[in-house]
Structure 1
Amino acid sequence: MPVNWDAEVIGPLMGVFGEPVTYTSLSGATFQISGVYDKAFFAVNVETGSLVSTSQPTLGVQLSQFQSNVPPQQGDQLLIIGTGEQWEVREVHIDGRGGARLMLNVLGQTDV
């Protein structure tokens, strides 16, 4: 019997680890979702060969929380309610199981 990832895995995980997010699509639609917000640290090798630590903010989302005609896309904006942080979606990585990881940038930032 196949696993219903959305109902049996992603939904319960969002219920435990998700936090409230106000999401605004490029089309102007604004709605509430839950997402797993993270600021993972990683090292960047600069031209000098030195490693510099930085963070990559991401938001794990359940795609069924989005209207079918308003999927997450580059340029969408969101507000993490608990921290007041505002972000713009830089990349959308769909996992094929009903979820996606949104790679985030500071509003108006065009580089990575």
Structure 2
Amino acid sequence: MMGINWDRHLLAPLHGVFGDPVEYRPAGGISYTLSGIFDRAYTQDVDPLDDGSTINTTKPVLGVRDSQFQALPKQGDRVFIGIVGGVLVNTLFAVADVQPDSHGGTKLILNKVR
């Protein structure tokens, strides 16, 4: 039995419908365009405080296909997002965290570059 090609059967069609072109700028490398699905807000729980309460923070996220990278994404790389779903974003982000999903996709947690 052959495994499912997640990139071809799920991720490529998904990005074809919901993805937007973004400019990926690897640290010390040459920029190139790939498809990303951008979410402005992603809530993440931060370590609990001494009193047991938790803090959550909101970070933008970019869903990407691993097959589109020239080298695996890493912290410190930059992503310029111009337009998402017809809405002007025009923002440069730094990759704060890289979370592969084991199905050929990765979630990039982003920080806005000031």
Runs of 4 or more, structure 1, over 4 Å off, are: 43-54
Q: Distance in 2 between matches of 1:72 and 1:63?
A: 9
Q: Which runs of 5+ in 2 are unaligned?
A: 84-88
Q: Distance in 1 between matches of 2:3 and 2:44?
A: 39
Tell me if structure 2 keeps the 8 A contact 1:43–1:51: no
TM-score (structure 2 length as normaliser): 0.79
Q: Identity of paired residues, percent?
A: 40
Q: What is the aligned length?
A: 106
Matched, 1:84 2:90: yes
Q: Which runs of 5+ in 1 are unaligned?
A: none
Matched, 1:3 2:4: yes
The equivalent residue for 1:58 is: 61
Q: SS at 2:97's partner residue? A: strand
Q: Which moved more, 1:9-18 or 1:37-46?
A: 37-46
Q: Distance in 2 between matches of 1:37 and 1:84?
A: 12
Q: Distance in 2 between matches of 1:2 and 1:53?
A: 37
Tell me if structure 2 keeps the 8 A contact 1:41–1:53: no
RMSD over aligned CA atoms reads 2.3
Q: Quickly say closer, same or farther: Cα 1:41–1:47, change in 2 above 3 A.
A: farther
